[in-house]
Amino acid sequence: MKKLTIGHLYPDLLNLYGDRGNIQCFRKRLTWRGMEAEVIPFLSGDPIDFEKLDIVLLGGGSDREQELVCQSLQGIKKDFQAYVEDNGVVLAVCGGYQLLGSYYKTETKTIQGLEILDIYTEWEPERMIRNIILNSPLFDRPVVGFENHGGRTYIGNHTPFGKVFFGLGNTGKSGYEGVVYKNVIATYLHGPLLPKNPHVCDYLLEKALRKKYGEEIRLEPLPDELEHKANSYIFDRYNDKKYVLKETIKRYT
Ligand SMILES: NC(=O)CC[C@H](N)C(=O)O
């Protein structure tokens, strides 16, 4: 039976808005297809053998929690970098996204990041809180979610995860959200990102399965009736007729 091992990094500190729901989604969508998922939670300070992992989830946290986790991250920095460069799959959400960069400068401190992505984040007092909708060139369907962050993330020479159709995204000004790098998706979209966007979940699962079992792996589609309802519920609320999804995607790619 095919199996993926999912490392959940620091659920004790980085688990805002139920980011762990993303793990449940990975697990369910594998088991519905007759595959298995093993989930290993790593608490702050635990040693991590990245060679055993197929997917890593790094969730969001408050500035205080990010500061606490920073030291543990420095201890795993080299191995985490090597995992990403070797096409390891990562979903990093909000605080986790910021920590993949070089630093996150809060009101009072500079928190060192993992330097996996060429990005940095600077805090501003006005929080960016709202529903958010993206067009990602990776998908035909929009990506919907919720953002809540004080940090503004400036990205270097990277492909954004999506173009903001509604919401604020990386800086509130750039018009873009998140980063896609190798098999990493780093985004401000909080849990439940994957249950509302099963296409994003399957994209990451397929990457992980192909890396482990070969490029020919294709995931069987699932009915996803409820998931699509949840996805369109948000999209339809903010969609005005002038907007054409395909056009935006075309301009963007
Ligand atoms: N929701 C989060 O993970 C927040 C990340 C960070 N503490 C910020 O406010 O920008």
The ipTM assigned to this model is: 0.95
Query: Cis (ω within 30 of 0) for the bond into 221?
Result: no
Model confidence at 244: pLDDT above 80: no
Q: Binding site: which residues? A: 127
Backbone angles phi, psi at 216, to 5 degrees: -80, -5
pLDDT (tens digit per residue) in 10-19: 999 998 888 8
**Ligand 1 centre and the CA of 94: distance in Å?**
6
**Ligand 1 centre and the CA of 67: distance in Å?**
11
Instruction: Give me the active site residues, please.
Output: 94, 190
Find residue 110's DSSP bridge partners: 105
- Does the Cβ of 101 fall within 6 Å of ligand 1? no
Which residue did the predictor score with more confidence, 248 or 45?
45
Q: Binding site for substrate: which residues? A: 127
Provide the percentage of residues in the chain whose pLDDT is more than 70: 94
Model confidence at 250: pLDDT above 80: no
Query: What does the domain layout of the chain look like in residue ranges?
Result: 3-252
pLDDT (tens digit per residue) in 132-147: 999 998 998 899 999 9
* Structure-block tokens of residue 212: 């482990």
Q: How far is CA 214 from the centre of its chain?
A: 24
- Does the Cβ of 94 fall within 6 Å of ligand 1? yes
**Chain position carrying tokens 């620091």:** 10
Q: At 247, is the pLDDT very low, low, confident or very high (cuts 50, 70, 90)? A: very low
pTM of the predicted model as reported, rounded to 2 decimal places: 0.93
Pocket probe for ligand 1: among 63, 67, 107, 193, the residue whose CB has the most ligand atoms within 8 Å is 63
- Does the Cβ of 151 fall within 6 Å of ligand 1? yes
The yes or no reply on domain 3-252 and CATH 3.30.70.120 is no
Query: Are the CB atoms for 46 and 79 separated by under 8 Å?
Result: no
Nearest CA to ligand 1 atom 5: 95
> Mapped to the 3 state alphabet, what secondary structure does the chain carry?
CCEEEEEEECCCCCCHHHCCHHHHHHHHHHHCCCCEEEEEEECCCCCCCHHHCCEEEECCCCHHHHHHHHHHHHHHHHHHHHHHHCCCEEEEECHHHHHCCCEEECCCCEEECCCCCCEEEEEEEEEEEEEEEEECCCCCCCEEEEEEEEEEEEECCCECCEEEEECCCCCCCCCEECEEECCEEEECCCCCHHHHCHHHHHHHHHHHHHHHHCCCCCCCCCCCHHHHHHHHHHHHHHCCCCCCHHHHHHHHC
pLDDT value of residue 209? 98
Backbone angles phi, psi at 79, to 5 degrees: -65, -40
* Structure-block tokens of residue 162: 């999506």
- Does the Cβ of 191 fall within 6 Å of ligand 1? no
Pocket probe for ligand 1: among 148, 154, 177, the residue whose CB has the most ligand atoms within 8 Å is 148
Backbone angles phi, psi at 164, to 5 degrees: -75, 120
Pocket probe for ligand 1: among 19, 58, 66, 94, the residue whose CB has the most ligand atoms within 8 Å is 94
**Ligand 1 centre and the CA of 16: distance in Å?**
9
Beta strands 176-177 and 162-166, pairing class: antiparallel
**Ligand 1 centre and the CA of 87: distance in Å?**
26
**Ligand 1 centre and the CA of 241: distance in Å?**
33
